[in-house]
Amino acid sequence: MSESPFTVKKQLIALLMVMLSCFYSTHAQVTDTLKPVNVKTNRKKISGDERINTYSPGQKVKTIDSLTLELYRYQSMASVLSQQVPVFVKSYGFNSLATLNFRGASAAQSQVYWNGIPLQNAATGIADVSMLQTTSFSKVNIVYGGSSALWGSGNVGGALILESESPYFSNTTSFHNALSFAGGSFGQVQFGIKSSVSMQRLYTNVSFATSSANNNFRYTDNGTTYQTDNSKVENFNGQVQLGYKANDKNTFAFTGWFQNYDRQIPKALFELKSVKYQQDKTIRLLGDWKRQGDKLSLYTKLAYLQDDMHYNDSVIYIDAKYSTHQVYGEAGVNYRISTHHKFMLFIPVQYVWMERQSLNDVVRQPRYAVALAYSLTAFHNKLHIALHGRGMYVSKKTSPMSGLNIAYAFTNWLSIRTNIQRSYRMPTLNDLYYYPGGDTSLKPEQGWSEDFGYVIKTNTNKRLVFFHDVSLFNRRIKDWIIWFGGAIWTPHNIAQVHSRGVETETSLQYSFGNFKLHAGLNTAYVLATTEISYIPGDGSIGKQIPYTPRYNGQANIGFSYKNVYFNYNHTYTGYRFITVDESSWLMPYNTGNIQLMYALKRGAYSIQFVAQCNNIWNEQYQVVSGRPMPGVNWLAGISLSR
């Protein structure tokens, strides 16, 4: 493997020692110790993005609370979502690609945004959530259902909304420093450093994290036990954030985010050996300005994203490199016409390009759009209506998108919602120009989606808290894009796919004194079938889209007492067909997972211990065909902050 950022481990350890010395000479803002937090259901500032807070009342939005983020602080977003959220995470292995499947949507139809910027690779149109470390984000929201008019092309099934910690300013200079260390099964080792300074006008925040693992776990195939090899992974993640408060209304911020992910790719069950490896480097730079007024708010943001990939397989003499680039700019205005009427206008511009090494050329795709959103509240804020519209110009074609969602609260414990959207997704650079295989004649995916739901939630001030959410959804997409083939894979439009189903979330919490008991159950039933196919006799009509489980769910049960939190999580994933005609499939699997956290505060210092044991029943399973997953494994870490 090429030289990786993990070679800086010695320097980081030295820096850890320097940081430790700072603990004895700085003042700090200390966060509270352990506080279990429930999933939030109202839309009052659950996000820094007004598209969620104000203009999505009829969409299901799930907030991953701060407690859950702390429980999974040493793991990736792939682990959080697969164990805690009714969404299917398609994982190609313990240290491999992991993508999202919202309500039967493809990976390219399930979007990921960071501070309002799309994180999808400019070439493939997908985001690898296994590379997104939980500690990099302070707020995580999942928006279910299509909303292309509000979020842009590709938002067909749903979106993962990630937000970094916002700059905060204080009248007196304050410091916050944190160190963390974790270790676990298969040679997992992690280090992390974070330091921030807050002043009246300035804010800085610097964080670095590095990790490595051998991932040499054992697995069983046809009664024989094997051990993975060629499976090491090394990762470096660094972020720098600067904030400047010009006055009470104007703030400026800059965030730089760098990642280097080196991973060997172990052999699949159908391979004799593997010497493959892949290196991914990403650079993300984001600058933004916000002006907050009583009625009128303005913002602009400009981002540059670069993804470099190097893939090598010496067995078949492949040494491939490619770079993709994205410039994203957005300017918007949010205006409160009156207490009950709000209006938002924003102009996103996206320019993406890819360097094709094999042809020594560059392919490009500019996208221009104008988007509008209107919010109305009535009947003492019981009724909330939002209208969306967007016009997008790509490749000399104009594409209109529209949406409507409504929420109505019958009582303080019962509300209903509905969402109707025109969904739309342009083919990606790979779909159009990948060599060999790309098809410039591909049509964009488009269709309509509808969903309806209700929420029952008791008064959170009571000792017994009950939460119940049900969503029914329906979506038809024409010209669905799928890749398949023999020696050369190519993308195809498969005419029309119909997705429908139901999701439920139910939780119960009982408190007495410092002791709290909690239990919850999430379920999802998704039927995503091909209705019309352009390929005669492919056997796909009426059959489930590959790698879309009909059933999946998660259950949680546990307790908290003062500074101790314990949770048992159980996940179930049903059959996944791996061919379009349902002739081959993967068996369902169950995993049991335990999370434990203990927080201690001593003066200005906070100490937190987190431990997880995953797959405690040692289930032998595959999420993707031929890619075995590890049996029982553990990870534990400790963090010190002041």
* 365-375 pLDDT, tens digit each: 999 999 999 99
Give 31's pLDDT tier (boundaries 50, 70, 90).
Answer: very low
The residue with greater pLDDT, 437 or 13, is: 437
Give 538's pLDDT tier (boundaries 50, 70, 90).
Answer: confident
Q: How far is CA 349 from CA 122, 257, 404, 406, in A?
A: 14, 21, 23, 28
Of 339-348, 493-502, 534-543, which gets the smallest average pLDDT? 534-543
Supply the pLDDT for residue 21.
35
Tell me the mean pLDDT in the region 420-448. 90
| % of the chain exceeding 90 in pLDDT | 74
Q: What are phi and psi of 185, to 5 degrees?
A: -60, 155
Mean per-residue pLDDT of the chain: 89
Q: And the tokens for 597? A: 């956290």
Q: And the tokens for 483? A: 């890749």
Tell me the mean pLDDT in the region 239-266. 95
C-alpha 263/C-alpha 170 separation (Å) is 42
Give 317's pLDDT tier (boundaries 50, 70, 90).
Answer: confident
Residue 39: pLDDT over 80: no
Supply the pLDDT for residue 37.
37
Three-state DSSP state, 185: helix
Give 497's pLDDT tier (boundaries 50, 70, 90).
Answer: very high
Cα–Cα–Cα angle for 406, 56, 524, rounded to 5 degrees: 85
Q: What are phi and psi of 442, to 5 degrees?
A: -60, 140
Strands 110-114 and 158-163: parallel
Cα–Cα–Cα angle for 130, 132, 133, rounded to 5 degrees: 105
Three-state DSSP state, 391: strand
* 165-178 pLDDT, tens digit each: 889 899 999 999 99
The residue with greater pLDDT, 397 or 27, is: 397
Shortest CA distance to 255 belongs to which of 283, 282, 281, 286? 286
Three-state DSSP state, 181: strand
User: Are 23 and 254 in contact, with CB atoms under 8 Å apart?
Assistant: no
Shortest CA distance to 444 belongs to which of 484, 478, 395? 478
Question: What is the DSSP secondary-structure string of 477-523?
Answer: EES-EEEEESSSEEEEE-SEEEEEEEEEEEEEEEEETTEEEEEEEEE
Residue 40: pLDDT over 90: no
C-alpha 495/C-alpha 540 separation (Å) is 11
Supply the pLDDT for residue 8.
37
Tell me the mean pLDDT in the region 358-381. 92
Q: And the tokens for 577? A: 């067909």
The residue with greater pLDDT, 435 or 431, is: 431
Shortest CA distance to 239 belongs to which of 114, 97, 331? 114
CA torsion sign for 576, 582, 585, 588 is: positive
Shortest CA distance to 423 belongs to which of 127, 60, 153, 122? 153
Supply the pLDDT for residue 36.
39
Name the β-bridge partners of 78: none
User: Are 233 and 262 in contact, with CB atoms under 8 Å apart?
Assistant: yes
Tell me the mean pLDDT in the region 76-86. 93
| % of the chain exceeding 70 in pLDDT | 93
Give 45's pLDDT tier (boundaries 50, 70, 90).
Answer: confident
Q: And the tokens for 185? A: 């099964």
Supply the pLDDT for residue 356.
80
Q: And the tokens for 607? A: 């100490």
User: Are 430 and 123 in contact, with CB atoms under 8 Å apart?
Assistant: yes
Helices (H), 213-259: none
C-alpha 98/C-alpha 79 separation (Å) is 10
Give 487's pLDDT tier (boundaries 50, 70, 90).
Answer: low
Supply the pLDDT for residue 35.
42
Give 488's pLDDT tier (boundaries 50, 70, 90).
Answer: confident
What letters, b where the CB count within 10 A reaches 16 and e where it falls short, cover 382-411? eebbbbbbbebebeeeebebbbbbbbbbee
Three-state DSSP state, 83: helix
The number of domains in the chain is: 1
pTM: 0.90
Residue 41: pLDDT over 70: no
Domain interval for residue 279: 5-641
Largest CA distance in the chain: 74
Q: List the CATH number of the domain containing 494.
A: 2.40.170.20
Supply the pLDDT for residue 44.
62
Give 486's pLDDT tier (boundaries 50, 70, 90).
Answer: low
* 190-204 pLDDT, tens digit each: 999 999 999 999 999
C-alpha 360/C-alpha 237 separation (Å) is 30
C-alpha 642/C-alpha 640 separation (Å) is 7
How long, in residues, is the chain?
642
* 93-140 pLDDT, tens digit each: 877 889 999 999 999 999 999 999 999 998 889 999 999 999 999 999
Question: What is the DSSP secondary-structure string of 27-59?
Answer: -B----S----PPP-S-SSSSS-HHHHTT-TTS
Of 262-266, 317-321, 381-385, 453-457, which gets the smallest average pLDDT? 317-321
Q: And the tokens for 136? A: 């990099």
The residue with greater pLDDT, 7 or 630, is: 630
C-alpha 511/C-alpha 615 separation (Å) is 29
User: Are 426 and 394 in contact, with CB atoms under 8 Å apart?
Assistant: yes
